[in-house]
Amino acid sequence: MTVYKAPLRDIRFILKELVHAEQLVDLPGYEEATPDQIDFVLEELAGVCQELLFPLNQSGDEEGCHYEDGVVTTPAGFKEAYAKYVEAGWPAMACDPEYDGMGLPKTVRLLAEEMLSSANLAFSVYPLLTTGAYTAIFKHGTDELKRAYLPRMVEGSWSGTMCLTEAHCGTDLGLVRTRAIPQDDGSYRVTGSKIFISSGEHDFTENIIHLVLARLPDAPSGTRGISLFLVPKFLVNEDGSLGERNGVVCGGIEKKMGVSGSSTCVLNFDDAVGHLVGEPNRGMSHMFTMMNAARLGVGMQGLGLAEVAYQNARAYAKERLQGRALREPRYPEREADPLIVHPDVRRMLLTMRANTEGARALAGWVGLNLDLAEHHPDPAVREEAGDLVDLLTPVVKSYFTDHGFLATNLAVQIHGGHGYIRETGVEQFVRDARIAQIWEGANGVQGLDLVGRKLGMHNGRLLRRFFHPVAAYLEAHQNDPLLGEFVAPLAKAFGRLQQATARIAQQGLRDPDEAAAVSSDYLRLFALVALGYMWVQMAEISLERLGIGSSGESRVNGGQATADAAAASVGDPKDVPFYQGKIACARFYFQKLLPETSSLFAVIMAGAAPVMALGDEGF
């Protein structure tokens, strides 16, 4: 059996000490989002994740969803758990109070996604899709559509989907064939087939609101000719009651590698009544409102699985007795030492932890800027925050999900043969993690988005939103003897990133393949520097909390006097190990993980030739 406990201590550290989320109460609409209120919400949700959702994770995977004659039944316990989830008001978490939402900051929602994904990824997909559909309707729908659909979606009695993919087109949505024919009453008749539709059919809610990409009869070709339509499973009467069944039917569900408790459907639209969302032929830009939010959510799925994988690997490494420590027995009273004494096991655990905690910190920074971009009264601040979110969205989606798959694999490796069998439960994490690298835009596409769109956007304005604060931090601390061990390697890695950026910008103008061939490597380089920027700040905070002076003499080293001094500085002796752990993880990150930027830099500077030289016929 697997274990999970929400990492509330680390989340509090990020919100209160790193990104200073207390500033949210100064934003219009967030007056009630006090630190105490946010604490309460996260505590309550942690209980839901640990006690309600996590116990259903393994059984839901074993059973999966059931399909019969267009009807989908979710695994035992899922429907009842969703009813309790709705009863507690969780679907309304970050929704606008005008439509009965709680109006909580998106920072909170983003970190909540991690806990939900750790507890039960398959379950978490259903509300995540609804949140995305809500966002698109809220941003681009008419007031009439908002009044008719959003309150019930916020309430949780109706859910939502996004219907993009067709059998012949996934990433290339310019090939979409689904048609929408305008009617005299202002509605449209939508006909076509969509595949891989998460939550497309299920037994959670009384209605499902599909957001569908389709073409109008006179639409131009390619992505410029796609519009977005709202197509409900059941038609909605003027008084808000449900009418007759619409012309959309589930044609089957996929048998998948993982997330078995999440229904992945084929949806057939046959003359279904739909309503235009936003402007004609602007469907792609409107859908990206939903997709960008979903990409951040998927990134948090990778992070969530990395966290639960780490917790189970750590527990197993501490209890599983195997061999002896190489120097001398660490636990001579036992018949063998636990796995945790072995250097390679510790390397794997620290790799998992350092990436996970660094990613969580980056998520907190992105979440804060999501809120600043929407609620800050100063347009310049909103623009700057929005730019940063846009720039980092592909980084979060790609790196977090790559790390999620790596971390879950490391958990299996630490468990050895016991990790490979289903009874232990960790092999499920690997299978569940794999899809996150694919859906909402495969990770290779995220690299293309970063180098092909984000770097050159607004003459490099987005890039400056990240480069400038990093450069300013490094300059301010370049002579700090306490932070030198962190600042110096980050400065070198940042220099590599700057050089790689210049090369891609220069060579990419000459030949687009030069940028595309190294885009995934560049995104990873960018992510490593971004996590380094988070880690140096976390190290700085932790050193300050432990009362370590610039001389470094009071560094915590196991001595009683030093430990007492650290406890006195922190205030709560129980927090001393937390900050010690942060400093140790920071050192591991800078000495063992950040050096990968050197090899990535070499790969990027090699350009496209090694990738493109072999002709198609040579493969």
Banded pLDDT at 552 (limits 50, 70, 90) = very low
Q: What is the predicted pLDDT for the residue at 383?
A: 97
Mean residue pLDDT across the chain: 94
Surface-to-core class of residue 431, CB atoms within 10 Å of its CB (0-12 exposed, 13-18 middle, 19+ buried): middle
Q: What is the pLDDT of residue 288?
A: 81
Other Cβ atoms less than 10 A from the Cβ of 17: the count is 16
Three-state secondary structure call for residue 230: strand
More confident of the two residues 433 and 570: 433
| Token pair for 592 | 């063992």
Mean pLDDT for the stretch of residues 566-580: 81
Q: How far is 470 from 480, CA to CA, in rounded Å?
A: 16
Mean pLDDT, rounded, for 54-79: 98
Return the DSSP state at 75. Answer: P
Residue 518 pLDDT:
98
Q: Is the pLDDT of residue 144 over 60?
A: yes
Question: Which of the four pLDDT bands, split at 50, 70 and 90, describes residue 335?
Answer: very high
pLDDT tens column, 253-308:
999 999 999 999 999 999 999 999 999 999 988 888 778 888 999 999 999 999 99
What's the CA gap between 138 and 150, in Å, rounded?
Answer: 8
Among 52, 10, 15, 58, residue whose Cα is nearest residue 34: 15
Using a 10 angstrom Cβ sphere, with 0-12 exposed, 13-18 middle and 19 or more buried, the burial of residue 247 is middle
pLDDT of 414 > 70? The answer is yes
Cα–Cα dist 125/508, whole Å:
37
The neighbour count for residue 187, using CB atoms within 10 Å, is 16
**Residue 243 confidence (pLDDT):** 97
CA 99 to CA 146: how far, in whole Å? 8
Q: How far apart are CA 14 and CA 36, in angstroms?
A: 15
Q: What pLDDT shows up at residue 566?
A: 61
Looking at mean pLDDT, say which of 40-49, 214-223, 504-513, 558-567 comes out highest.
40-49
**Arithmetic mean of pLDDT, 473-502:** 97
State residue 560's pLDDT score.
42
Strand partners, 253: 265
617 given a catalytic annotation: no
Position 554 pLDDT exceeds 70: no
The yes-or-no verdict on residue 520 having pLDDT over 90 is yes
pLDDT of the residue at 556: 36
In the chain, what percentage of residues exceed pLDDT 90? 91
Selection from 38, 30, 157 nearest residue 97 by Cα: 30
pLDDT at 559: 36
- The pair of structure tokens assigned to 110 is 């983003």
Mean pLDDT of 93-111: 95
pLDDT for 565 equals 58
Length in residues, the chain: 619
Note the pLDDT of residue 173: 82
In this prediction, residues 443-458 reach a mean pLDDT of 95
| pLDDT(618) > 80 | yes
pLDDT at residue 292, rounded to an integer: 83
User: How far is 367 from 107, CA to CA, in rounded Å?
Assistant: 4
pLDDT at residue 293, as a whole number: 84
3-class secondary-structure state, position 480: coil
* Cα–Cα distance measured from residue 85 to residue 440, given in angstroms and rounded to the nearest whole number: 25
Task: End-to-end CA distance of the chain: give it in Å, rounded.
Answer: 45
Percent of the chain past pLDDT 70, that is, above it, reads 96
Find the helix packing angle between 143-155 and 106-140, rounded to 10°: 140
What is the pLDDT, as a whole number, of residue 537?
Answer: 98
Q: What is the mean pLDDT of residues 60-75?
A: 97
The 10s digit of each residue's pLDDT in 156-192 is 999 999 999 999 988 888 889 999 999 999 999 999 9
Q: Return d(Cα 293, Cα 131) in angstroms, integer.
A: 9
β-sheet bridge partners, residue 485:
none
Tell me, what's the pLDDT at 557? 36
The sign one gets for the Cα dihedral 107, 109, 113, 116 is: positive
With CA atoms as reference, report the closest residue to 359 among 75, 120, 2, 7.
Answer: 7
Q: Check residue 583 and give its pLDDT.
A: 98
Catalytic residue among 114, 357, 440, 514: 440
Q: Give the 3-state secondary structure of residue 136.
A: helix
Residue 217 pLDDT greater than 90, yes or no = yes
